[in-house]
Structure 1
Amino acid sequence: MSRDDSPLVDLQCEAHTYPDGTVGMHDVDFSVYPDEVVALVGGNGAGKSTLLEHLNATLVPDDGELVVDGTPITEDNKAHARREVGFVFQDADTQLVAPTVLDDVMFGLQNYGVPGDEARARAREALATVDAGHLEDRIPHYLSGGEKRLVGLAGVLVLEPSVVVLDEPLAGLDPERSQLVAERIQQIHEDGISVVLSTHDLEFAAEVADRVCVMADGNVVGSGTPREVFYDDALLTDANLHPPSAVRVARDAGLGATEQPVTEADLVALLTEADTLGPTQTPSPDGRGHD
């Protein structure tokens, strides 16, 4: 995918090896551009979390370079990466450190020397952004999983990053809370923040992502739009992934060859159109029916 704009984050990682000798990632060339949502998909151990943790210098390549907003990141300026690239961990408890939700969201601002009244106002604004203002006086560790995920997201947004990274944001959530978190992710993207997330839920990836990157064996083995990726049988087979249900249903119904729906909404619209056109016509790519 060629682009004219400069990346917000550009990672070149020839290798990253963990202390026990496990190779977490190799030969990775990964960038994040303005105004996009990128979904990383792949099986357990594919390297998704390892890649994400390189984007804000939580991990650093053994051989390679991270450039954030045009600035090469070194040991001396990791704070720049962590300010521009906010990270919401899968285990939200690792980010909740203060006695109340409001104190927790203020914590990062106070570390940067923001005065108390300003920090409090900005924290309340961040909580409102994720529809969690009603939680400000609650004790973080007594929140539900979904509420913790939203508070962690607010704690990142309050620092006004260019990119938000979420590791398995729907993990362990019931459908209602998953929908709430998904809606907040789409909202922050609409507010102009790029988002990178990892997920095992390909239905979710199809719904929210502009670009999908497939990982296997510590490398990005393919990328493209959801339609390009989820209709690439060879790529999905190599990564041991199954396409979203809309793709499978469309193929079973003989619709996938032309329209290629990737979400439930795409599929419903296509089937509704086919029903309206009648049994002797099928929808064509230009939107007109043909016999």
Structure 2
Amino acid sequence: MIDGDDSGGSDDVTDPLVDLRCESHTYPDGTVGMCDVEFSVHADEVVALVGGNGAGKSTLLEHLNATLTPDEGELHVTGRRVTDEDPAHARREVGFVFQDADTQLVAPTVVDDVMFGLRNYGVPAEQARERAKAALETVDALHLQDRIPHYLSGGEKRLVGLAGVLVLEPSVIVLDEPLAGLDPQRSRLVADRIERIHEAGVSVVLSTHDLDFAAEIADRVCVMCDGNVVGRGPPREVFYDEELLARSNLHPPTAVRVAREAHLPTGSHPVTRSELVGLIDARAADTPRSSR
């Protein structure tokens, strides 16, 4: 388990796309949102941020594109320091999809909504429309282009929100609880599209209460508690750290719980359903028929 500096990985010597050092952030009512947080995002990775309610996950995410700024500390995005006077660079490079999709839906039709950001940047209407359609096609939502955004389902709104961020070609996409309120089928749909965006070369940072989802999708997991990042590392390290999860009020993913109950070999550490099934099948194959 790595605790402290968030370097992304022992073999990663590249500069991070996003590098946040926040000594403190306090809300106007005096609530401390974060303190002594170091958080980086590197190219070609998915980072899952997990923790209980009030742990500081949304506060951290909103610092990554300068929606919020540290009281003390600094943010660098693609090597450039971001200041309060000029947050535009962070907002171009770090696309943010909010948990409440309705906050990002502002236009009369889906295609108009997706092209809205491009038009604000001065992209001509026809070019913006073609890029918006391409972004919708990337998330398999082109069929929604003429729909009224506020009449969409929760899952459809999330896809449109993703397209609206993707069309701006950011280096990093940040998603706050992307599966919140979705049924299993729509959750799988949104998760698949997130994986597709990552495969296209965009780094992804997301917060989630669904540790099964985090185990499936993340290269790296960061655990938050009381406004701090209290642990981080690959899923198979983080999710087998019983002490860390307990003090953060988290229960391990299903595969971890079943692996323990099934007394699978120490060190196997499955964190996903497919890994668990593979280990159980392997153990069954190695068990003599007479002892079954």
Report the TM-score when normalising by structure 2: 0.95
Partner of 2:82: 73
Matched, 1:222 2:231: yes
> Following TM superposition, by how much is the alpha carbon of 1:279 offset from its aligned partner in structure 2, in angstroms?
4.1
Q: State which of 203, 207, 215 in structure 2 corresponds to 1:206.
A: 215
Q: How does 1:102-251 map to 2 (within 5 A)?
A: 102-251=111-260
- Kindly provide the amino acid, as one letter, of the partner of residue 175 in structure 1: P
Q: In the aligned structure 1, how far is the partner of 2:254 from the partner of 2:288?
A: 24
> Following TM superposition, by how much is the alpha carbon of 1:131 offset from its aligned partner in structure 2, in angstroms?
0.4
Q: Could you list the runs of 5+ residues in structure 1 that have no partner in the other structure?
A: 281-291
> Following TM superposition, by how much is the alpha carbon of 1:258 offset from its aligned partner in structure 2, in angstroms?
2.3
Report the TM-score when normalising by structure 1: 0.95
Q: Could you list the runs of 5+ residues in structure 2 that have no partner in the other structure?
A: 1-8
SS of corresponding position for 2:250 = coil
Partner of 1:271: 280
String of CA shifts for 1:125-182, please: whole Å, max 9, x gaps: 0000000000000000000000000000000000000000000000000000000000
Q: In the aligned structure 2, how far is the partner of 1:152 from the partner of 1:5?
A: 30
Q: State which of 56, 60, 72 in structure 2 corresponds to 1:47.
A: 56
SS of corresponding position for 2:13 = coil
Q: In the aligned structure 1, how far is the partner of 2:258 from the partner of 2:243?
A: 18
Identity of aligned residues (%): 74
SS of corresponding position for 1:58 = coil
C-alpha contact (below 8 Å) 2:239/2:253 kept by paired residues: yes
> Following TM superposition, by how much is the alpha carbon of 1:119 offset from its aligned partner in structure 2, in angstroms?
0.2
> Following TM superposition, by how much is the alpha carbon of 1:276 offset from its aligned partner in structure 2, in angstroms?
1.7
Q: In the aligned structure 2, how far is the partner of 1:228 from the partner of 1:258?
A: 10
Matched, 1:97 2:106: yes
Matched, 1:23 2:51: no
> Following TM superposition, by how much is the alpha carbon of 1:256 offset from its aligned partner in structure 2, in angstroms?
5.3
- Kindly provide the amino acid, as one letter, of the partner of residue 71 in structure 2: D
Change over 3 Å in CA distance of 1:121–1:249 after alignment to 2 = same
> Following TM superposition, by how much is the alpha carbon of 1:274 offset from its aligned partner in structure 2, in angstroms?
1.3
Aligned Cα root-mean-square deviation (Å): 0.9
- The list of structure 1 runs, each at least 4 consecutive aligned residues, that deviate by more than 3 angstroms after superposition, is none
Q: In the aligned structure 1, how far is the partner of 2:199 from the partner of 2:278?
A: 24
> Following TM superposition, by how much is the alpha carbon of 1:272 offset from its aligned partner in structure 2, in angstroms?
1.1
